[in-house]
């Protein structure tokens, strides 16, 4: 079995490669990644010399390049993680989100249609459902919740999902989609909430929290997400959407305080900054369907996952130190100065 994994030098894609290496040691894994600011080949150091692993630097929106890869490797399965993934950057510059997340998905779907495939899996997000009010804790996103996007990022992800549905229905392609809640764990780029707060706390720098920090997200340890995708590839039904979530809703401010407590740092580092434009209030997944259909349940409790994550960042200082010293510094200044 040959599995082509796009975006495998990013956070979730790399964790998925490590998961697949363990759970299916006989599979050939091909990673296609453009190595944008969010992709880091160092992350794949432990597999790069594995004879059953191939890395190819390519843009999923480059039709010629992607067709050449399919011609040369004929993958059986494609899992598309490649995306521009940061909401704040989509507010600054939506164009690249449409190019990669929408046009790139279309190129991959066309390549799958041209060369034949056993399964195409689209890694989507709970953000396609929009948000839920804070005062209705009884409401959750199900697979039937209408798409109702807020940011250019979520609009681009929802567009890609609609394209997948259209290709499945029109061309009968074997497509599945998963929509997961917020992930955390090793190798997450330090612009995202949890690694950003860990890095700043370790440097005794202010911890910028949007608005009042009361926005609620449902947090899932990345390995649980990877296991869910593996199960969908093995046993999922073609044409089906699967919601993946941990029933672990937390306010941003409580996450930040938890990180400070683990690191033994003072809460006076917390600095409230002007809220993100159009900031979604609450995301909450109902994962009943994937539990009933595929027997999936999250295995890592938040209390354990966050300890493991903080310790990973402590032990892998070299991995993120290079990132925060590079181009990211300019982005950080633009985002948080004068806010």
Ligand X SMILES: NC(=O)c1ccc[n+]([C@@H]2O[C@H](COP(=O)([O-])OP(=O)(O)OC[C@H]3O[C@@H](n4cnc5c(N)ncnc54)[C@H](O)[C@@H]3O)[C@@H](O)[C@H]2O)c1
Site residues, ligand X (CB under 6 A):
6-7, 9-13, 33-36, 38-39, 59-61, 81-85, 100, 104, 123, 125, 157, 180, 182-183, 189
Residue with token string 């354990």: 304
Q: CB of 204: closest distance to ligand X in angstroms?
A: 26
Q: CB of 190: closest distance to ligand X in angstroms?
A: 11
The Cα–Cα gap between 85 and 305 comes to: 22
State which residue, 55 or 167, has the beta carbon closest to ligand X: 55
Q: CB of 267: closest distance to ligand X in angstroms?
A: 25
Q: Are 187 and 301 in contact (CB under 8 A)?
A: no
The Cα–Cα gap between 99 and 62 comes to: 10
Structure tokens at 329: 């510094």
Q: By three-state DSSP, how is residue 151 classified?
A: coil
- Which residue is closest to ligand X by CB? 10
Q: Are strands 270-273 and 207-210 parallel, antiparallel or unpaired?
A: parallel
- The tally of CA atoms less than 13 A away on the side-chain side of residue 242 is 28
User: Which active-site residues does the annotation give?
Assistant: 126-127, 153
Report the 3 state secondary structure along 267-314: HHHEEEECCCCCCCCECCECCHHHHHHHCCCCCCCHHHHHHHHHHHHH
State which residue, 44 or 207, has the beta carbon closest to ligand X: 44
Q: CB of 264: closest distance to ligand X in angstroms?
A: 27
From edge to edge, which strands make up the β-sheet containing 175-180?
53-57, 28-33, 2-6, 77-80, 119-125, 175-180, 241-244
State which residue, 197 or 265, has the beta carbon closest to ligand X: 197
Q: Are 17 and 27 in contact (CB under 8 A)?
A: no
State which residue, 122 or 168, has the beta carbon closest to ligand X: 122
C-alpha distances out from residue 19 to 60, 202, 288, 289, Å: 23, 29, 23, 23
Dihedral in degrees, nearest 10, Cα atoms 18, 19, 22, 27: -90
Q: CB of 266: closest distance to ligand X in angstroms?
A: 28
State which residue, 65 or 239, has the beta carbon closest to ligand X: 65
């Amino acid at each position: 079995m040959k599995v082509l994994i796009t975006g495998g030098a990013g956070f979730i894609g790399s964790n998925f490669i490590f998961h697949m290496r363990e759970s299916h040691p006989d599979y050939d894994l091909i990673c296609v990644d453009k190595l944008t600011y969010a992709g880091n080949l160092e992350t794949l150091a432990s597999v790069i010399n594995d004879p059953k692993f191939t890395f190819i630097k390519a843009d999923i929106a480059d039709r010629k390049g992607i067709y050449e890869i399919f011609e040369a490797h004929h993958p059986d399965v494609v899992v598309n993680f490649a995306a521009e993934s940061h909401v704040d950057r989509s507010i600054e510059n939506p164009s690249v989100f449409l190019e990669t997340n929408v046009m790139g998905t279309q190129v991959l779907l066309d390549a799958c249609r041209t060369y034949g495939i056993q399964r195409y899996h689209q890694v989507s997000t709970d953000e396609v459902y929009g948000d839920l009010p804070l005062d209705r804790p009884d409401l959750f996103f199900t697979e039937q919740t209408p798409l109702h996007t807020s940011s250019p990022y979520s609009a681009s992800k929802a567009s890609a999902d609609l394209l997948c549905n259209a290709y499945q229905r029109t061309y009968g392609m074997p497509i599945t989609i998963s929509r997961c809640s917020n992930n955390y764990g090793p190798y997450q780029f330090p612009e995202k909430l949890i690694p950003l707060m860990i890095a700043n706390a370790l440097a005794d720098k202010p911890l910028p929290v949007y608005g009042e920090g009361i926005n609620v997200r449902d947090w899932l340890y990345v390995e649980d997400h990877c296991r869910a995708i593996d199960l969908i590839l093995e046993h999922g039904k073609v044409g089906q959407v699967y919601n993946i979530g941990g029933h672990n809703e937390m306010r941003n401010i409580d996450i930040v305080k938890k990180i400070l407590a683990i690191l033994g740092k003072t809460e006076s580092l917390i600095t409230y900054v002007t809220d993100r434009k159009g900031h979604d209030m609450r995301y909450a997944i109902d994962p009943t369907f994937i539990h009933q259909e595929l027997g999936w349940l999250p295995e890592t409790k938040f209390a354990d996952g966050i300890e493991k994550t903080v310790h990973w960042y402590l032990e892998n200082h070299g991995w993120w130190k290079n990132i925060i010293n590079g181009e990211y510094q300019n982005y950080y200044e633009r985002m948080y100065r004068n806010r």
